A = this chain, B = another copy of it.
Amino acid sequence: MAVAPDPVDVLDRAFAIAAQIGGAMNSALTERGLTPVRAGLLLVLHEQGRPVVQRELSQLLQCTPRYVTALVDALETQGWAERQPHPRDRRATLVALTPKGVETAEWMAEGRRKAAHRLLGDLPEADLAGFLVVADRLLGSFGPDEVRGAG
């Protein structure tokens, strides 16, 4: 009796799930006084594990250098990150996480890990591996470095 599923429906559901997860993450972030983009900046800084120059952040976040200035202003005002002078280039500014910023970034990474396991943890490994192969082919990438999650 099963009618053939429409790929359009499948894609719609995929987007709906992404939107729902994004919304849940968004709520959790808002409770901590973070917006999604600022949270992204925190995560990037945490991934790098070192102070990063604003110019480089603009490339990592795929936004304009000007907007990085605004983001860092906000993060600095609220105590998640701080500016440091670059030791050898007086034009550049290094951005580093504060202890509070590190703690929040780790809380986010943990939340992401939990969500992934809750959603996908019961799937057979073969299916996950297969998805990764197809996904990377679709993305035209050959490693996790080119992939930046969940805008």
Contacts and interface: CB of A to CB of B under 8 A. Distances in A.
Interface string A1-25: 0101111111111111111100000
Contacts of A128: 5, 7, 10
Contacts of A16: 135, 139, 147-149
Contact of A132 (B10, B18, B117, B132): B10
- What is the interface of chain A mostly: helix, strand, loop, or mixed? helix
Interface of A: 2, 4-20, 112-113, 115-117, 119-121, 123, 125, 128-129, 131-132, 135-136, 138-139, 144, 147-151
24 contacts: A2-B129, A5-B125, A5-B128, A5-B129, A7-B128, A8-B112, A8-B113, A8-B116, A10-B131, A10-B135, A11-B112, A11-B116, A11-B149, A12-B144, A12-B150, A15-B150, A16-B135, A16-B139, A16-B147, A17-B139, A18-B18, A19-B150, A19-B151, A119-B138
